Chains A and B, each alone.
Chain A
């Protein structure tokens, strides 16, 4: 590291910088010094650094254009490692000790860039080059063109690691939101705040004041920023007012909702422990005063992108706020009197003014007077025709009103094409701004409900008028919220004059203009020639121009380029600016990091994990888990000595078939349904009949969607006269609940029935196998008769277990064995699992996971998720006979459509390979033997497969055209991914105990 060079361009003390303290930072490996209050831009500029980056396409040397968030050129990579932040505007980076930044899009170094020669291939890289140059051959795109473009063009590199910092989201409510703390915003906040209204004042900068900090003009004879500080202190003392600095309101949304980003710890090296780096605010405001100021426009002239060509207002910011002069000898290029302030401020700071080039004709504006005050040559009606100096301005070619050109040496060009009100927030909801010729600006016309624009954002550029405008807006907003607000006494401001005459470019009658690039969009390297080319090729709509040239589509979203482009296009197509149009601005006003939008919702905070009550116990058992929606479920329970999962699962299946096993089925949706009309309601929800289900009985039910396709299935038990409990599939639990509410509240409000989800209230465990009754007898209290006669298949009861614990018992079987589902209050779930292990031990009990559950149901031919995939009908599932013809139910009418009951539809079948060793794979296609592997021969697919220890073969469920009629037929199973074809026999989908005798045992 080299020693810190002196801050030779720090010519005075700035109002926002504390020069009593020194900070150290590095840029491209070189160490520099700065002070608290500096931005990275001002600190580097103080050292005379002018080259900040390379441009996007042509790799041209670029310096600072602005001093604010609109900066298109000076983008760097800030910080390093996991905190590396690409495309960071140096103008908004607050300096901190140890800050580390590097330039981007340059190779091998910023001052010598090998790809700078891209400028020599301008003819290739012009407007629409993406569409023209890289069209053919098509195969070259992915392999050659895209990687090449990505290496050459582009900006910074994102961090390779996950962001280690914290981000928060917060919501705030207020009566009046004031966006911006310039003269108008402060006056508005003061008027509204003093009335007692709840006010939030958001300022994107670290300091309040807006342009008051950038100008040397006074308020009540004191520096403008001092009044801003005084107001900030008064506002801070108001209990209902909140001043939020470093907070950018980036979007306006419907219903008075605003998005804002608070940069909580961006200005320090590291956030404090537990402190978020940024906080995303949703602010709900009844009224909003948009006092967002204005952004100065550059002028389009040849080589206007040389480092040292800056906005005139930015020059004043560096001088007055930061005490830094961006040069030693300046030329001004202006079209309004506001720009003349720059000459006076520079002069006061001892900077020589070589010339003032004023595009206005002689006699308009105060240019002549200021020029003589500053000792500058004055060129009324003049233009800058070219700019010299490869890596920094050395001279400009000035053309006077008569057309005579001369070269003038300088190292700084301060330009002002006028100010564009920052109307972004007013247009986010689709309100188009309107062009005002007198101000050469778009102003908001209609605004979103509750929003008003004030100050420069409303085209009120004079400070005294802006103060008044803001105070009136704040007062009205507070009154609209029911507060008695009055106008505050405002400080006296020096009178100003704007006197703008339109100036967008200086391209006519310039000898060198043909070759030199005149930039419209600095960040995306779009030149005036590109705009002309696009127009010539027919892209005369501003929206098309944007997309064809990429103008305004960079990270700065064209803040400094859109209006110049529009004006150029208007001129080329011989239309007025209003005729040419305007593009609406979309949120965000400034880039918002994806981390801020995600906030704390990362990892399990984004996708939380639901754990069934036996999870901890299953962990202790060494279970392997699988995700089932948000739920974590035990997939299988390996035992020592078992070498692979299939061995474990097959053992679990055999345990259920031969002894007894148990499985946590809590994840199934459980909906408690009560009311006199509950039976009638179920009758309309399910396809089958429900009116005659007796108390203490359970029934399987199938639900359709209204379009006639299967939606969900499960069992519903009648626990009392008016009391039912429904189960849904795990995946559809939430959806079925909303569906029931919809049907009840909207379709059949006359039915007296209510629902509540009780999924999390009950731990439910399936106990399955020939010895399940024997196990349950050890748990269920003795007063309850578990015999087959007293509690047969499909019985349900509320009872007690373990000496008085309330429980529910259902004699249900998904496995085809004698089986029960026992529900206990969720807090007893863990104890129940442990108890089952203990009392079941003599019977050879073992837990089984979802994989064995799947094998058992496939062996039994029960459809599940892969079968109820949203494309199958009751008929397809072999349940056509369930559809009641005697009642109306959801989906009843549409399920009758001929195409939904056509026997030729693929229908549920069982399938077994001819060679038992052949493995089946779900998703395989079923084709007639010998048919060619084409779509026309395709007759169905495999939906679920398993190795069946009971059958001793792979088995599968699937859907086959005319399926049930084809039992015994041998078809070809095509696994197109593996490229295999095997022969398999169509069989009944019930592989085990087809008569169902075990269920009733």
Chain B
């Protein structure tokens, strides 16, 4: 398998390590224990498109959000995790203002 790192281009799988589901979000410190148990321990195991975190540890050390088909290993999208997280914050902040 190969991943196209936004910084480094197409690279072999051996440069990356897998972390897991990129759709879970760290709860607030005062969130319920159930929310924290879900975040720390529970993961879906979807068949098909999956957003997941990968680390380009043997390259630029970027954490990446990879959209992958778990059946075919087709890679649809690779983005810098930091960009994804920052965009989400801006969106959240924007929604906050509207509310």
Could you list which residues of chain A lie within 8 angstroms of chain B, going by C-beta atoms? Answer: 171, 253-257, 282, 284, 429-430, 449, 706-707, 734, 737-738, 741-742, 744-747, 749-750, 888, 892-894, 897
Q: How far is the CA of A253 from the CA of B13 in the complex (A)?
A: 11
* Closest B residue to A889 using CB positions: B29
Q: Tell me if A254 and B73 are in contact (CB < 8 A).
A: yes
Note all chain A residues with C-beta closer than 8 A to B2: 254-257, 284
Give the top 10 A-B pairs by smallest Cβ distance, nearest first. Answer: A888-B29, A255-B2, A254-B1, A254-B73, A745-B82, A749-B85, A745-B63, A749-B82, A746-B81, A749-B86
Whether A282 touches B12, Cβ cut-off 8 Å, given contacts A742-B63, A894-B40, is yes
User: How far apart are the CA atoms of A254 and B39 in the complex, in Å?
Assistant: 30
> Within the complex, what minimum Cβ distance (angstroms) separates A713 from chain B?
21
A–B Cβ pairs within 8 angstroms, 14 of them? A255-B1, A737-B61, A738-B61, A741-B63, A742-B19, A742-B53, A742-B63, A745-B63, A745-B80, A746-B82, A749-B89, A888-B28, A888-B29, A892-B29
Complex CA–CA separation, A282 to B89 (angstroms): 41
A756 to B, closest residue via Cβ: B61
- The docked-state distance in angstroms from the alpha carbon of A746 to that of B62 is 10
Q: From residue 1 to 56 of chain B, which have CB atoms closer than 8 A to chain A?
A: 1-2, 10, 12, 17, 19, 26-29, 31, 33, 36, 39-41, 53, 55
* Interface contact B36-A746, CB-CB below 8 Å: no
A706 to B86, Cβ gap below 8 A?
Answer: no
Residue positions of B touching A, CB distance < 8 A:
1-2, 10, 12, 17, 19, 26-29, 31, 33, 36, 39-41, 53, 55, 57, 61-63, 71-75, 80-82, 85-86, 89
| A284-B2, A707-B40, A888-B29 known; A738+B57 contact, CB < 8 A | yes
Closest to B3 in A: A255
C-alpha spacing A533/B75, complex, angstroms: 46
B40→A706 contact, CB < 8 A: yes
A738 CA to B60 CA, complexed, in Å: 11
Cα–Cα distance between A255 and B14 once the two chains are bound (Å) = 13
Q: How far is the CB of B88 from chain A (nearest CB, A)?
A: 9
Q: How far is the CA of A403 from the CA of B78 in the complex (A)?
A: 68
Distance of A747 Cα from B24 Cα, bound (Å): 11
Tally of A-B Cβ pairs under 8 angstroms: 73
Report A250 CB to chain B, min CB distance, Å: 17
Residue of A whose beta carbon sits closest to that of B26: A747
Q: How far is the CA of A449 from the CA of B1 in the complex (A)?
A: 12
B4 to chain A, nearest CB (A): 9
Which residue of A257, A744, A893 contacts B1 across the interface (Cβ within 8 Å)? A257
CA gap between A749 and B80 in the complex, in Å: 11
Cα–Cα, bound, A490→B17 (Å): 48
Nearest chain A CB to B36 CB, angstrom units? 5
Cβ 8 A contact of A745, one of B41, B74, B85 = B85
Identify which of A282, A737, A738, A897 gathers the most chain B CB atoms within 10 Å of its CB.
Answer: A738
Q: Once the chains bind, are A746 and B73 in contact (CB under 8 Å)?
A: no
On chain B, the residues within 8 Å of A254 by CB distance are 1-2, 73
Contacts A749-B86, A749-B89, A892-B29 known; A253 to B55 CB distance under 8 Å?
A: no
Q: How far is the CA of A256 from the CA of B28 in the complex (A)?
A: 42
> Which of B41, B75, B82 has the largest number of chain A CB atoms within 10 A?
B82
Q: With contacts A255-B75, A897-B33 known, is A738 near B89, CB below 8 A?
A: no
Chain A: minimal CB distance from B44 (Å): 18
What is the CB-to-nearest-CB distance from A314 to chain B, in angstroms, rounded to a whole number?
Answer: 38
Contacts of B81 in A (CB 8 A): 745-746, 749
A897–B31 CA distance with the chains assembled, in angstroms: 13
Closest B residue, CB atoms, query A887? B29
Q: How far is A750 from B75 in the complex, measured between Cα atoms in Å?
A: 28
Q: Which residues of B contact A257 (CB under 8 A)?
A: 1-2, 12
- Is A894 a contact partner of B85 (Cβ separation < 8 A)? no
Q: Quick one: closest A residue to B39, CB to CB? A: A706
A706 vs B61: C-alpha distance in the bound complex, in angstroms? 21
Contact B85 A429 (CB under 8 A): no
What residues on A are CB-neighbors of B17 within 8 Å? 738
12 other contacts beyond A430-B72, A741-B55, A742-B19, with CB at 8 A cut-off? Answer: A254-B73, A255-B75, A256-B2, A449-B74, A706-B40, A707-B40, A738-B61, A749-B81, A749-B85, A749-B89, A750-B86, A750-B89
Q: Are B31 and A893 in contact (CB under 8 A)?
A: yes
B31: chain A residues within 8 A (beta carbon): 893
Known A745-B81, A746-B81, A888-B29: A893·B55 in contact at CB below 8 Å = no
Q: How far is the CA of A927 from the CA of B71 in the complex (A)?
A: 51
- A671 CB to nearest chain B CB (Å): 12
B75 contacts across to A, CB distance below 8 A: 255
Q: Which residue of A lies closest to B61 (CB)?
A: A741
Contacts of B86 in A (CB 8 A): 749-750
Are A742 and B26 within 8 A (Cβ)? no
Most buried by A among B17, B57, B63, B73: B63
In the bound complex, what is the Cα–Cα distance between A256 and B3 (angstroms)?
Answer: 11
Q: Which B residues are CB-close (under 8 A) to A253?
A: 1
A777 CA / B17 CA spacing, docked (Å):
47
Bound CA–CA A749/B88 (angstroms): 10
Which residue of chain A lies nearest to B1 when distances are taken between CB atoms in the complex? A254
Closest to B29 in A: A888
Residues of A within 8 A of B73 (CB): 254-255, 429
CA distance A896 to B82 in the complex (A): 29
B10 contacts which chain A residues (CB < 8 A)? 284
Q: How far is the CB of A752 from chain B (nearest CB, A)?
A: 12
Check A745–B62 contact: CB distance below 8 A: yes
Minimal beta-carbon separation of A758 from chain B (angstroms): 14
Q: Across the interface, which residues of B come within 8 angstroms of A707, CB to CB?
A: 40-41
CB distance from B33 to the nearest CB of A (A): 7
A117 to B33, CA, bound (A): 69
Given the known interface contacts A741-B61, A747-B26, A892-B29, the answer about A429 and B72 at a Cβ–Cβ threshold of 8 Å is yes
B63 touches A746 (CB 8 A): yes
- Residues in A whose Cβ lies below 8 Å from that of B72: 429-430
CA distance A956 to B71 in the complex (A): 52
Q: Which residues of A contact B62 (CB under 8 A)?
A: 741, 745
Chain A nearest CB, measured from B34 CB (Å): 11
A256 to B13 CA separation, bound complex (whole angstroms): 12
CA of A894 to CA of B82, assembled, Å: 25
Q: How far is the CB of A920 from chain B (nearest CB, A)?
A: 36
A899, B45: Cα distance in complex, Å: 28
Report how far A662 CA is from B81 CA in the complex, Å: 43
CA A449 to CA B19, docked complex, whole Å: 26
Q: How far is the CB of A597 from chain B (nearest CB, A)?
A: 13
CB-CB under 8 A from B27, the residues of chain A are 893
CA distance in complex: A749, B85 (Å): 7
Report A-chain residues with C-beta under 8 Å of the C-beta of B74: 449
Write the chain A residue with the least CB distance to B64.
Answer: A745
CA distance A255 to B13 in the complex (A): 10
Q: Which residues of B contact A888 (CB under 8 A)?
A: 28-29
Contacts of A449 in B (CB 8 A): 74
- The residue in A254, A737, A892 that gathers the most chain B C-beta atoms within 10 A of its C-beta is A254
